[in-house]
Amino acid sequence: MARQARIALALGLAAGIFTTGAFGATTVDGAAIGNEQDTSNWLSYGRTYSEQRYSPLDQINEKTVAGLKADWALELPTDRTLLATPIVVDGVMYISGSYSVVRAVDAKSGKVLWTYDPKTLEVAGDRQRIFWDSNRGVAFWKGKVFVATGDGRLNAIDAKTGKEVWSAVTIDPKLPMYINGAPRVFRDKVIIGNGGTEVGANRGYVTAYDTETGKQAWRFYIVPGNPADGFEDDTQAMAAKTWTGEWWKHGGGGNAWNGFTYDPEFNRIYIGTGNGSPWNRKIRSPGGGDNLFLCSIVALDADTGKYVWHYQTTPGESWDYNSNMDMVLADLTLKGKPVKALLHAPKNGFFYVIDRATGKLLSAEKFGKVDWADHIDLTTGRPVERKGARYEDGQELVWPSPFGVHNWHAMSFNPNTGLVYIPVTELPGLFTDKGVDPKLWQSPNFSIDPGVEFARDDIPVNAGTGALLAWDPVKQKPAWRVPQAGVWNGGTLTTAGNLVLEGNATGKLVAYRATTGDALWTFDAGLGISAPPVTYTVDGKQHIAVLVGWGGAGPSVGGSLLAQHGWSYKAQPRRLLSFSLEGNASLPAMPPPSFAKPLKQEDFKVDEMLAQQGNVLWTKHCVLCHGAGAVSGGYAPDLRASTIPLYDAALQDVVVNGSRQTAGMPRFHEFSAGDLKALQHYIRREARR
Ligand code: HEC
């Protein structure tokens, strides 16, 4: 099949399809996505099924990279957050942007060929409160593009015309879940999960659909439901034995919002599962228990969705240490023996090497500052936890924070260097559940409450650090480490040119020597980069592309730590950038970093009681977009600097009447005049800090 695909490609070249930039001849099927040697395209989220994000291209290499220049920039004036991995098929790039708008772009010229708008906000209604505008990318299969929407649809689009072919509702409109992840495709099926463990009673699942028709093929629940309703199968009954109390009332969680890896060798799909709903196990499963399949890698039969094996990274999790991070397939030699390995670096800070034939753990070591557990016992496969880490007494400072040592920003694996390139964050979390009565606690409903205090106050500038880490998965040791100026840096790409490319929080796209970490080339994009770069060829010449559009949970949760870079709401335009060795574009300068100037309003007398009430409302309803301590990380306006909260009527108009709903500001129709007053006092108090 791979050969056929290549012949088709050659025919396409002969017919001049590529030079005209029209839609080409590659049949994007399992053989094509599994073909590690194809360098012209980037067909899947992690490039190929292995999710290695390694390209055999080497025209741009450690010697030539100094000459890398911009070819073109596509301005995206209506976009805010850009996190997606572009998919490239026969010289056409498919990108998803804010609110899951998809564009097909001519990779040669940067011209938009079509735009598909799923009208996410029109469908979302109140669900708008719980998701951001972000989308991590599309999938491609046999002439169709697949995109998931924040409101919970999975849509198929004709790749040539941009017209919708089918739309499947994957989330019951009553349920407090959303989607911002990229689907994956295999054997005429497309799979998607969901997110939402902080915003309501939530039972996570993944669903596979027929790529032609959109008909559901199978669904797998990640946590068991109410035993009184009967379990779906033996796997659910087995999982239920690891839960206590009445977990189903709180959903349980486990939502798979990011990592999925299809393994063609075993015809399995690996699901990286989420944390608990709520995070606090004292509430979720009061008698303890591992709570399967939270924070696990679950291997399912790709045809049936039936359970094959699992490995749980954080049994009985209590810190939001989910395993939603990417899972990379690699052939390693361990102690002289070839191993079909799965590599995984989840939030909890341990790097896992797993035998993917059996699901057996082979090794696990800390790859950053971690103190919730001392080590992983290789005989039991379980973490040896530190006493106190579960905030048994009601409060504990624990490394890492809920952001994790590694988040969704993809890592890459270079088979030549044998190294994995991981964006890491070192930041502690203060876990407090003082005053929370597990018996009285109730799940939120489209608002935020993880059962433990979360982002109640500002996050100081010096709270944490970030780095690019090159990790040797065989030795389970760092090879090199480059400190970075921010904690929220983009995913990585690695190539046969002995390069690692990464965009970072300070707005630089940097090429490093893959073996040593020496910085060889830097481009200042003028805005924090959160998306990972990709590489491919156009007319046989190597290109690199990246979306520039600061976003994700970091900039949304904000605080001074994320605000320090100056990527204020809408201050800098969003772009798609393309680079090559022959690039000669001169791009318009970006507006400089800008910082919110809080309005002090000395004549406003802050009532401390009201400000505290406002703080509670803020943490439940506003913090996920406007930032911790009312300090915006750039996702939404910094309300300390906004005049709107100064005027009752203006605030009422925006918050209660929903006058900015189509611009991304949800409506809170149930808010009373007293609620708004409390928010005003809270915002003014924070403005004077
Ligand atoms: C899902 C994300 C989200 C949530 C949750 C959210 N906002 Fe917003 N808000 C936005 C965005 C985005 C804008 C900017 C809209 C625009 O461009 O006009 C905004 C704008 C505003 C503005 C106008 C500011 C200005 O100067 O233009 C106010 C006031 C505001 N929000 C208050 C609140 C309050 C109070 C809450 C909590 C009750 C809240 N928001 C929750 C995303 C959010």
Looking at residue 128, its amino acid is Q
Of 13-17, 160-164, 340-344, 581-585, minimum mean pLDDT range:
13-17
- pLDDT of 650: 98
Please give the Cα distance from 462 to 452 (Å, whole number): 23
Q: What is the arithmetic mean of pLDDT over 579-599?
A: 96
Among residues 215, 115, 99, 203, the alpha carbon closest in space to that of 149 is found at: 99
pLDDT of residue 21 exceeding 80: no
The count of other CB atoms within 10 Å of the CB of residue 256 is 26
| Beta carbon of 637 within 6 Å of any ligand 1 atom | yes
Choice from 130, 617, 626 to test ligand 1 binding pocket (greatest atom count within 8 A of CB): 626
Q: What is the arithmetic mean of pLDDT over 264-273?
A: 98
Angle at 458 between CA 457 and CA 464, to 5 degrees: 120
The count of other CB atoms within 10 Å of the CB of residue 499 is 27
User: How high is the mean pLDDT of the chain?
Assistant: 95
pLDDT of residue 62 exceeding 90: yes
Q: What is the arithmetic mean of pLDDT over 241-245?
A: 98
Q: How far does residue 379's CA lie from ligand 1's centre (Å)?
A: 50
Please give the Cα distance from 58 to 66 (Å, whole number): 14
pLDDT of residue 296 exceeding 80: yes
Q: How far does residue 645's CA lie from ligand 1's centre (Å)?
A: 11
* Ligand 1 atom with minimal separation from the 675 CA: 38
Please give the Cα distance from 455 to 450 (Å, whole number): 11
| Beta carbon of 622 within 6 Å of any ligand 1 atom | yes
Q: How far does residue 570's CA lie from ligand 1's centre (Å)?
A: 13
Residue 603, judged by CB atoms within 10 A of its CB (0-12, 13-18, 19+), counts as exposed
The count of other CB atoms within 10 Å of the CB of residue 450 is 25
Query: Which residue has a Cα nearest atom 2 of ligand 1?
Result: 625
For the stretch 327-360, pLDDT in tens is 999 999 999 999 999 999 999 999 999 999 999 9
Q: Model confidence at 22, in pLDDT bands (50, 70, 90)?
A: low
For the stretch 607-635, pLDDT in tens is 999 999 999 999 999 999 999 999 999 99
For the stretch 129-146, pLDDT in tens is 999 999 999 999 999 999
Q: Model confidence at 126, in pLDDT bands (50, 70, 90)?
A: confident
| Beta carbon of 626 within 6 Å of any ligand 1 atom | yes
Please give the Cα distance from 488 to 562 (Å, whole number): 8
| Beta carbon of 176 within 6 Å of any ligand 1 atom | no
Q: Domain-by-domain residue ranges, the chain?
A: 186-370, 608-687
Spot the catalytic one: 38, 320, 326, 449.
320
Q: How far does residue 614's CA lie from ligand 1's centre (Å)?
A: 15
Query: Which residue has a Cα nearest atom 32 of ligand 1?
Result: 655
For the stretch 439-468, pLDDT in tens is 999 999 999 999 999 889 999 999 999 999
For the stretch 520-570, pLDDT in tens is 999 999 999 999 999 999 999 999 999 999 999 999 999 999 999 999 999
Among residues 370, 477, 483, 469, the alpha carbon closest in space to that of 423 is found at: 469
Please give the Cα distance from 296 to 252 (Å, whole number): 14
| Beta carbon of 621 within 6 Å of any ligand 1 atom | yes
pTM for the model stands at 0.96
| Beta carbon of 665 within 6 Å of any ligand 1 atom | yes
Q: How far does residue 426's CA lie from ligand 1's centre (Å)?
A: 29
- pLDDT of 24: 73
Q: Model confidence at 16, in pLDDT bands (50, 70, 90)?
A: very low
Q: What is the arithmetic mean of pLDDT over 243-265?
A: 98
Q: What is the arithmetic mean of pLDDT over 32-56?
A: 98
CATH topology of domain 608-687: Cytochrome Bc1 Complex; Chain D, domain 2 (1.10.760)
Query: Which residue has a Cα nearest atom 8 of ligand 1?
Result: 665
Annotated catalytic residue 29 = no
pLDDT of residue 14 exceeding 80: no
Q: Model confidence at 20, in pLDDT bands (50, 70, 90)?
A: very low
186-370 belongs to which CATH class?
Answer: mainly beta
